[in-house]
């Protein structure tokens, strides 16, 4: 990782949460690796693969070793000298195991047995953190939908005002996506919670005649499932995880992008909650920038880019290919931390989001009623037929646009149209709240499906 990413003491908080960094950083990862090696020694001793007394010493050494700066430096130096992923760790632990017990460290296992098993345990912890933020986000969105079920605003297509909708309806679409992501997280769990103990080519050849029993005990002791076969070159589980996080981060980016646009000075319908002391610009003191919304976009790009690396890892040579699975060591933690940070920020943004109904109404009014031309045409169609109604409203609208006249005024002054409506009916036709269609009902339906 570079000095700008999650490990940075200055900028790390932009790319991860403390909880996720507490899973993927060197110290917690190495502690978890040592616990896996301790369990491996104990299980192998129970099945007669290594001496019980020596295994107990290995397990004790693994659990009492202080994973401090000195230890990490020693392991790192071993990697630099050998170029092998775990020789530095093995040698460091061999020195710390009393007597000859160090000969039995890491017996019968290979790098991916350790790293893949750790990764699946780490992602199990990460899923719980992500789901907690999704749950909080779901609750915040439910409240937003209820509060603004009938808050009228412009629905926009192709960047232009189209027809009136409600903000509750817009937020309900966000809510529905978040709920689907929670379903997906639950559905992926059984496929992800699988350990790895398969040896060099996946045949378990070093684990003796009871190899499958050893494997099962090892997996169960670590709270993971036994794999049906080696998955050292079968990385679909991790590709599924990466692409699920693309979907989740994509929702965060979509919501953030909408807030970014609706917070524009010219629109001003939404704004991120302002925290006193936040600085938007060091040159323009008045600025209140959409900081969270922009960061959601940056984090989502990090997730998508790293997911592509994981997708490349679907293709391996034969029974082992370091080009593929070693690239996951970079991509999986990066995209998991970025997605987790995105969810954490999105939850905060939604919980503190400021909605400006007056600006929503004012922006609708800037169209001078032309977004209601469909409603006028449909009402007139009930009395004179659709084609005739369309032509009359079209002609009146074109003339009014040329003259800079509001549509309501043009309709009231057009005899061929006005004769079919009373003044009260025309007023009703030009009340935006009467033309949001099924927005309220759809928002209610989405709220109800969550119960």
Active site (catalytic) residues: 158, 281
- The DSSP line for 57-123 is HHHHHHHH----HHHHHHHHHHHHHH--TTHHHHHHHHHHS-TTGGGGTTTT--HHHHHHHHHHHHH
How far, in Å, are 38, 88, 171 from residue 444 at the CA level?
53, 59, 12
Cβ atoms of 314 and 236 within 8 Å: the answer is: yes
Q: What are phi and psi of 241, to 5 degrees?
A: -60, -50
* Tokens, residue 323: 């080009």
Q: Which residues pair with 430 in a beta bridge?
A: none
* Tokens, residue 438: 């099924």
How far is the C-alpha of 123 from the C-alpha of 125, rounded, in Å? 5
How far is the C-alpha of 63 from the C-alpha of 244, rounded, in Å? 34
Cβ neighbourhood burial of 114 (10 Å; 0-12, 13-18, 19+): buried
CB atoms inside a 10 Å sphere around CB 160: 9
How far, in Å, are 219, 299, 331, 340, 395 from residue 4 at the CA level?
36, 13, 16, 17, 60
How far, in Å, are 2, 89, 117, 290, 359 from residue 265 at the CA level?
36, 56, 50, 11, 11
**DSSP assigned state of 434:** G
How far is the C-alpha of 150 from the C-alpha of 98, rounded, in Å? 72
In three-state secondary structure terms, 164 is strand
């Amino acid at each position: 990782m570079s000095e700008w990413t999650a490990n940075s003491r200055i900028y790390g908080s932009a790319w991860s949460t403390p909880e996720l960094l507490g899973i993927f950083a060197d110290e917690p990862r190495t502690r978890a690796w040592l616990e896996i090696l301790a369990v491996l020694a104990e299980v192998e001793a129970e099945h007669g693969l290594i001496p019980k007394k020596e295994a107990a010493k290995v397990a004790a050494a693994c659990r009492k070793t202080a994973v401090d700066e000195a230890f990490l430096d020693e392991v790192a130096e071993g990697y630099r000298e050998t170029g092998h992923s775990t020789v530095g760790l093995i040698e460091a632990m061999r020195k710390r195991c009393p007597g000859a017990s160090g000969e039995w460290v890491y017996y019968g296992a290979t790098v991916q047995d350790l790293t893949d098993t750790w990764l699946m345990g780490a992602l199990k912890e990460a899923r719980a953190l992500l789901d907690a933020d999704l749950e909080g986000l779901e609750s915040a969105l439910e409240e937003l939908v209820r509060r603004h079920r009938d808050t009228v605003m412009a629905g926009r297509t192709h960047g232009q005002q189209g027809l009136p909708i409600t903000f509750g309806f817009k937020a309900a679409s966000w809510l529905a996506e978040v709920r689907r992501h929670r379903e997906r997280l639950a559905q992926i769990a059984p496929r992800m919670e699988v350990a790895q103990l398969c040896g060099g080519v996946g045949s378990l050849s070093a684990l003796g005649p009871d190899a499958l029993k050893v494997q099962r005990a090892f997996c169960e002791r670590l709270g993971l499932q036994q794999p049906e076969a080696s998955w050292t070159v079968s990385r679909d589980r991790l590709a599924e995880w990466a692409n699920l996080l693309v979907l989740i981060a994509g929702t965060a980016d979509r919501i953030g992008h909408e807030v970014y646009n609706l917070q524009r000075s010219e629109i001003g319908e939404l704004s991120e909650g302002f925290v006193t002391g936040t600085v938007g610009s060091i040159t323009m003191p008045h600025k209140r920038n959409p900081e969270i919304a922009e960061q959601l976009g940056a984090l989502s790009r990090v997730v998508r880019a790293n997911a592509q690396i994981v997708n490349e890892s679907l293709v391996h040579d034969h029974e082992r290919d370091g080009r593929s699975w070693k690239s996951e060591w970079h991509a999986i933690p990066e995209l998991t931390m970025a997605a987790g940070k995105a969810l954490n920020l999105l939850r905060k943004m939604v919980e503190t989001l400021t909605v400006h109904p007056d600006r929503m109404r004012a922006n609708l009014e800037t169209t001078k009623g032309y977004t209601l031309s469909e409603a006028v045409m449909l009402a007139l169609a009930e009395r004179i037929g659709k084609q005739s109604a369309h032509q009359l409203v079209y002609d009146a609208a074109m003339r009014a646009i040329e003259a800079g006249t509001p549509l309501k005024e043009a309709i009231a002054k057009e005899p061929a149209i006005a004769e079919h409506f009373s003044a009260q009916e025309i007023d009703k036709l030009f009340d935006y709240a009467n033309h949001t269609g099924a927005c309220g009902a759809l928002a209610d339906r989405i709220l109800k499906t969550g119960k």
